[in-house]
Amino acid sequence: MKTRDVLIVFVLGLGFGLLLSRSGAADYTFIQEMFLFESFQLYGIIGSAVLIAAPGLWLLERHGKTASGEPLKLKRKPLHGGTVIGGIFFGIGWSLTGMCPGPILINIGEGKLYALAALAGALIGAWAFGALYPRLQPLLGLPPLDVGTGDG
Amino acid sequence: MLILNELTALHWGIAGAGIAATVLALQFFLNRSLGISTGFESLCSLVSRQPYFLRPALRGPGVWRFPFLAGLLVSGFVSAITSGGWEATWDAGMLDTVLGLSFEAKIAWMFVGGLFIGFGTRLAGGCTSGHGIFGVALFEKSSLLATTAFMAAGMATTNLVYRVLGGWTP
């Protein structure tokens, strides 16, 4: 990766994280209030992000090229036997910790020490999934190992 | 009010527009599609020799995930020092005020929740960013299903924990 690209990605991560940190998307109580239907904040954030990203991605796809003229590659998300059950597991984890993957790191940066326990769990959970992949793959009808379940 | 320095939250539209801008910039400038949970696999690939973590995608085109994860970690720190100061804390808002778990129970709670996040996001092939925002914005069937599943499971879990077991009332 070129140094310039590393810097661009770092700045994008920084900006993205700042918005999540200051909007409640990385706040335990805001996540519970979303799931309790007590606050519109998180629905507004996710909904407006989708509403703006959808036409933007559509235009980018029509344009077909990146800034440097490469053919645009939109990562397609395969549907497989793990899509729904994995989603259910993740929803339980998001509710328990009040964090989805990005906010785990943001919360650690903010100084919330309990997020370190969530990170340890997430890494061990992801590792266990990878280690069990050869057994889960035929059981759940997942894509071949060299493909994986999809980037996300 | 946020747990962080008791700040007032930004308007949702500002955060939503900024997230969408991140998705579009990452795609236009780097040709990469936003998704964070695969980053857990990238981190595992640094130490694990399991065949799943030796997939070329993780160490090849996937290396952009490392600076992105670093940006997220630093963002929390910057957010704190620019809004009243950084302080290590165990404050988990509603978890403390309603459920009042002991210190050990809180750590176990977060760890178990983390296990569900790590295993679940990788099984589903995405999280809130990859499926919920990027995939749904592309009207991908898998993302619509995964997003419905994690939102429903989150609603069920939180309502069970707070309204049923925790005796919480608005």
Task: Please tell me the predicted confidence (pLDDT) of residue A152.
Answer: 80
Residue A45 in 3-state DSSP? helix
Residues of B in contact with A40 (CB under 8 A): 12
pTM above 0.95, yes or no: yes
What does the pLDDT read at residue B3? Answer: 98
Per-residue pLDDT, A151: 83
Alpha carbons A35 and B159: distance in angstroms, whole number: 7
Q: What is the pLDDT of residue A147?
A: 87
Comparing CB atoms, the residue among A50, A57, A101 nearest residue B117 is A101
CB B127 within 8 A of CB A101: yes
**Cross-chain CB nearest to A97 (options B7, B113, B132):** B113
Q: What is the pLDDT of residue B170?
A: 87
Angle at which helix A28-35 crosses helix A41-63, to 10 degrees, equals 90
Tell me how crowded residue A77 is: count the other CB atoms within 10 A of its CB: 29
Residue A150 has pLDDT above 90, yes or no: no
Interchain CB contact of A145 with B (< 8 Å): yes
Q: pLDDT tens digits for A87-128? A: 999 999 999 999 999 999 999 999 999 999 999 999 999 999
Q: In chain A, which among 7-66 make CB contacts under 8 A with chain B?
A: 7-38, 40-54, 56-57, 60, 66
A51 to B16: CB separation less than 8 angstroms, yes or no: yes
Q: Splitting chain B (170 residues) into consecutive groups of 10 residues, what average pLDDT does each group show?
A: 97 98 98 97 96 92 96 98 97 96 97 98 97 97 98 98 94
- Please give the C-alpha separations between residue B74 and each of A15, A49, A118, B78, in angstroms, as whole numbers: 10, 22, 18, 6
- Chain A partners within 8 Å of B89 (Cβ): 111-113
pLDDT digits (tens, 9 = 90+) for A42-53: 999 999 999 999
Helix axis angle, A83-97 to A28-35, nearest 10°:
120
Facing B50 at nearest CB: one of A8, A100, A130: A130
Residues in chain B with CB shorter than 8 Å from the CB of A39 are none
Task: Chain A: give the shortest CA distance to residue B168, in Å.
Answer: 10
- Which 3 state secondary structure label does DSSP give A112? strand
Contact flag B123-A136 (C-beta cutoff 8 Å):
yes
| A133 chain-B contacts, CB cut-off 8 A | 50-52
